[in-house]
Amino acid sequence: MRWRCFIAPVLCLLVCRALSGAGALQLTLPPVWYGVPGVPVSLYYENVVLTEHPEELRFEVKCDLGKSEARRWTVTPEDKDVGEHAMEVVVRDVAGKELEHTRLLLKISPKEAGVGRPLKLLIVGDSLTAATAYPNELARLFSLPGNPAWKMFGQHQPMAAQPGVAHEGYGGWTWAAFLTRHEAKEERTPDGRGWKKRSSPFVFVNDKGTPALDVGRYLRETCGGEPPDVVTFLLGINDCFGANPEAPDKTIDTMLANADQLIAAFREASPGTAIAIGLTTPPNTREGAFEANYKGKYHRWGWKRIQHRLVQRQLEKFSNREKDQIFVVPTELNVDPLNGYPVNNAVHPNAEGYAQIGSSFYAWLKAWLAMQSGAVK
């Protein structure tokens, strides 16, 4: 059965929560997520509920396409699937009793969306971006037939970057770092492709000799005066990783306030640029990965509680902001928390997981391109 949701995104989110009640699982999904013909997309059950034991739950996904598997619902859309597909996600216990449920839309955009037009992209993030794997995947996908002529802006082009790939991704960085970080003397790595010490690319010394945020200058000097069509942000892990898992909201409040400042600076410097907020990605499902990295200081269940709450807050903050040219990208749904991570890393995906992040951004970008051309309402 195919149906269309006429509810505005934030209202849809509120309705979704009303349907699920105040359940302990806190089933959390965005009102809309995205796909493109020929590109696999999946909803991993573990990523949408708050539990230490997802294996004790049963998930049912109702949709007119795709299939349910043990750990996910998945589909590789075809051209005939372009359009909006209603989904309902039901969570049951082992006896079959319904615990929570919610509804959302899967929007499949034409694979030719944006063909022949230019696309100028700026990618901003932390170590997940610095690894350059998902920007490379974006470049690969956008180089397939039926795509715009893409260009990436950015000062960081590490050795791993494929031709034309650039970004502003730096290990350990936060929203606050991009707002304020300034090093009097920057220090590059021996290969010249990275930094040991690095100022924010958006912070410059002003005429009073004081470091200050100046996105307009960045756009003039780094982007050649060409404002990007889209800026993507994938941040939040470093902002919130050390929060109190029992009460993370104060830390999240600070992160969101910093996000507001940076987004406002981009909006002032380039009013027509779309701002895409990637939802913070889930943890590795293995506690052993946390032990390997943190030796008992931090645990998977602690970060899972923080990350889950962070995604809820990001949805509350950024949903239904299209009139402000602010959009949500559900990067947390499509990352396999088991096979998308190495056995010994808590928060950094492997090649498969990074490719899944890239395809999530790609699917949203194709939806945005289709919207610009009026191809999909």
Looking at the fold, whether 301 and 254 belong to one and the same domain comes out as yes
Strand residues in the chain grouped as ranges (E): 32-35, 41-44, 58-62, 67-68, 72-75, 83-92, 98-108, 118-125, 149-153, 168-169, 187-188, 195-197, 203-205, 211-213, 230-234, 274-278, 326-329
Task: Give the per-residue pLDDT at 221.
Answer: 95
Total structural domains within the chain: 2
Residue 2 in any domain: the answer is: no
Kindly tell me the burial class for residue 297, based on how many C-beta atoms sit within 10 Å of its own C-beta (0-12, 13-18, 19 or more).
exposed
Looking at the fold, whether 235 and 334 belong to one and the same domain comes out as yes
Strand partners, 275: 231, 326
Task: Give the per-residue pLDDT at 23.
Answer: 64
pLDDT tens column, 152-177: 999 999 999 999 999 999 999 999 99
Task: Give the per-residue pLDDT at 197.
Answer: 87
pLDDT tens column, 116-149: 999 999 999 999 999 999 999 999 999 999 999 9
Residue 321 in any domain: the answer is: yes
Task: Give the per-residue pLDDT at 375.
Answer: 52
Looking at the fold, whether 151 and 29 belong to one and the same domain comes out as no
pLDDT tens column, 337-355: 999 999 999 999 999 999 9
Looking at the fold, whether 176 and 34 belong to one and the same domain comes out as no
Task: Give the per-residue pLDDT at 16.
Answer: 43
Task: Give the per-residue pLDDT at 101.
Answer: 95
Looking at the fold, whether 15 and 43 belong to one and the same domain comes out as yes
| CATH number, position 33 | 2.60.40.10
Coil, strand or helix at 249: helix
Residues in the chain: 377
Residue 356 in any domain: the answer is: yes
Looking at the fold, whether 87 and 137 belong to one and the same domain comes out as no
The answer to whether the beta carbons of residues 354 and 137 sit under 8 Å apart is yes
Name the pTM for this structure.
0.92
Looking at the fold, whether 66 and 172 belong to one and the same domain comes out as no
Residue 4 in any domain: the answer is: no
| CATH number, position 240 | 3.40.50.1110
Task: Give the per-residue pLDDT at 34.
Answer: 98
Looking at the fold, whether 216 and 263 belong to one and the same domain comes out as yes
Task: Give the per-residue pLDDT at 373.
Answer: 78
Residue 113 in any domain: the answer is: no
Which of 63, 87, 108 is the last residue before a domain boundary?
108
Looking at the fold, whether 129 and 185 belong to one and the same domain comes out as yes
Task: Give the per-residue pLDDT at 189.
Answer: 85
Looking at the fold, whether 102 and 126 belong to one and the same domain comes out as no
Residue 3 in any domain: the answer is: no
Looking at the fold, whether 68 and 210 belong to one and the same domain comes out as no
Tokens of 30: 């965005």
Kindly tell me the burial class for residue 151, based on how many C-beta atoms sit within 10 Å of its own C-beta (0-12, 13-18, 19 or more).
middle
Residue 148 in any domain: the answer is: yes
Q: What is the extent of the structural domain holding 55?
A: 9-108
Residue 286 in any domain: the answer is: yes
Which of 108, 129, 146 is the last residue before a domain boundary?
108
List the chain residues with pLDDT less than 50. 1-22, 376-377
Which of 87, 108, 129 is the last residue before a domain boundary?
108
Nearest Cα residue to 340 out of 279, 294, 285, 280: 285
Looking at the fold, whether 103 and 159 belong to one and the same domain comes out as no
Task: Give the per-residue pLDDT at 196.
Answer: 83
